[in-house]
Amino acid sequence: MIGCTFSGEKACSRLRVLDGACRRHGATIPESASIWRSARSTFEAQMPCATTRMPCIFRALAREEPMTSHDMNLEPSLKAPRVEFGAAMREYRIAAGMRQKDLAAALGWSVSKISMVERGDRPADEDFARDADTALRASGSLLALWRDTTHHAARWPVWLARLVEIEQQAAMLRTWQPLIVPGMLQTPEYARAIFRGKPGTTPDVVEQNVADRMQRQDVLQRENGPTLWAVIDEGVLTRPIGTKAVMAEQMAHLVALDDHPRINVRVLPRDSWLTTGLQGAFILLSGPRMPDMAYLESVTLSQITADADRVLETKSRYEMLHGDALSRRASLQLIEETATQWK
């Protein structure tokens, strides 16, 4: 086991050894001493796992952002687009043997901006990406990544882009929706009617949003896709969205989804008198290679959290809602009965 008590020349020597090991696994140790200290104890605890966990550990140590014990299980793909660009720029910089201040001098920017871009705290514009690509001799790769991540970010807000990425890694999704059919279960026409309700939205944006939502649902059709348990309020079935034809199609779609081996839809009946879910919709996400997380929805600013207390509270709310919901068979029967009212 590599010791984790560092001081003076011995510290530098140990860090160089660790850096070499990290590089062999495609990662680097953090430059920030404070980040290293926060990661150090986790690394020490995980080292007995030896080679099977080393690449994951090294990738976690390479992240220049606040770490928790859960962070050891985060894969690189669980990153917002600008974080992905910043991490890539940092890798190119280190490969080029440059310090942050060297790159700052070459680009004519401050060290603080270089640091913020690498952490994903500040977006980079195209000129910055082009100049960085040239200075770091990335042969166009860094600029191409910037264009790709910028296009991704333009389509989705950062929090939604992150949600989509996490959904790709999750093994289990549990969601509650008090107002509308969950996005992962919507038909194109139902989603279209929802998106048209946002003030000032152009037809082109509506269509792009619909396409993105349908693409997001593809994860459920993967052979190894996540299991989805959804609890919806009974009012969702009777709330007019779009037209009667839209609602009839959506209800028929929910009925058809009952045959899906990994999708379970339950209805919370109106007479349950339960107020637990009135605060808003949410999604609980879990998987073997990620911390338990919660997506909390609001009108203007939704968020994703891995905070243990908030996730636990959200889990408790879900358990209460699921416990008071109708059985799967009774829920299906209610959906089928409601579907006939929309024809």
Q: For residue 58, what pLDDT is reported?
A: 31
pLDDT, tens digit (0-9, with 9 covering 90-100), for 318-329: 999 999 999 999
Rounded average pLDDT over 13-40: 41
Domain ranges of the chain: 8-73, 81-155, 158-341
Q: For residue 75, what pLDDT is reported?
A: 30
Query: Alpha helices, DSSP H only, in 176-258?
Result: 188-196, 203-217, 234-238, 244-256
Distance between CA 60 and CA 67 in Å, rounded? 9
- Stronger pLDDT, 177 or 28, i.e. the higher one: 177
Distance between CA 237 and CA 178 in Å, rounded? 10
Rounded average pLDDT over 3-28: 41
Distance between CA 142 and CA 248 in Å, rounded? 48
Q: For residue 289, what pLDDT is reported?
A: 83
Q: For residue 125, what pLDDT is reported?
A: 87
Q: How confident is the model at residue 155 (pLDDT cuts 50, 70, 90)?
A: low
pLDDT, tens digit (0-9, with 9 covering 90-100), for 187-236: 999 999 999 998 888 999 899 889 989 988 999 998 889 999 999 999 99
- Tell me which H or E stretch contains 49: none
pLDDT, averaged across the chain = 78
Give the number of other Cβ atoms within 10 Å of residue 10's Cβ: 11
Distance from the Cα of residue 147 to its chain's centroid: 20
Contacts of 49 (CB under 8 A, 6+ apart): 57
Angle between helices 81-95 and 158-169 (to 10 degrees): 80
Q: Which of 284, 311, 181 is nearest to 238 (CA)?
A: 181
The answer on pLDDT for 28 being more than 80 is no
Percent of the chain with pLDDT over 90: 52
Question: Is the fold of 81-155 the same as that of 158-341?
Answer: no
- Stronger pLDDT, 299 or 123, i.e. the higher one: 123
Q: How confident is the model at residue 153 (pLDDT cuts 50, 70, 90)?
A: low
Q: For residue 145, what pLDDT is reported?
A: 86
Q: How confident is the model at residue 14 (pLDDT cuts 50, 70, 90)?
A: very low
pLDDT, tens digit (0-9, with 9 covering 90-100), for 42-98: 333 443 333 333 333 333 333 323 323 233 233 333 345 677 888 899 999 999 999
- Stronger pLDDT, 317 or 304, i.e. the higher one: 317
Rounded average pLDDT over 4-13: 38
Rounded average pLDDT over 258-277: 95
Q: Is the dihedral of CA 217, 251, 280, 172 positive or negative?
A: negative
Give the number of other Cβ atoms within 10 Å of residue 121's Cβ: 15
Angle between helices 141-155 and 158-169 (to 10 degrees): 100
| 158-341 has CATH 3.30.870 classification | yes
The answer on pLDDT for 164 being more than 60 is yes
Among all chains, which residue has been given the structure tokens 């991490």? 87
Phi-psi region of 263 (alpha: psi -120 to 50; beta: other; left: phi over 0): beta
Q: How confident is the model at residue 21 (pLDDT cuts 50, 70, 90)?
A: very low
Q: For residue 70, what pLDDT is reported?
A: 33
Residue 4 is given by DSSP the state -
Q: For residue 120, what pLDDT is reported?
A: 78
Distance between CA 170 and CA 189 in Å, rounded? 27
Rounded average pLDDT over 21-49: 40
Rounded average pLDDT over 231-256: 97
CATH topology of domain 81-155: 434 Repressor (Amino-terminal Domain) (1.10.260)
Q: For residue 166, what pLDDT is reported?
A: 85
Determine the length of the chain.
Answer: 343
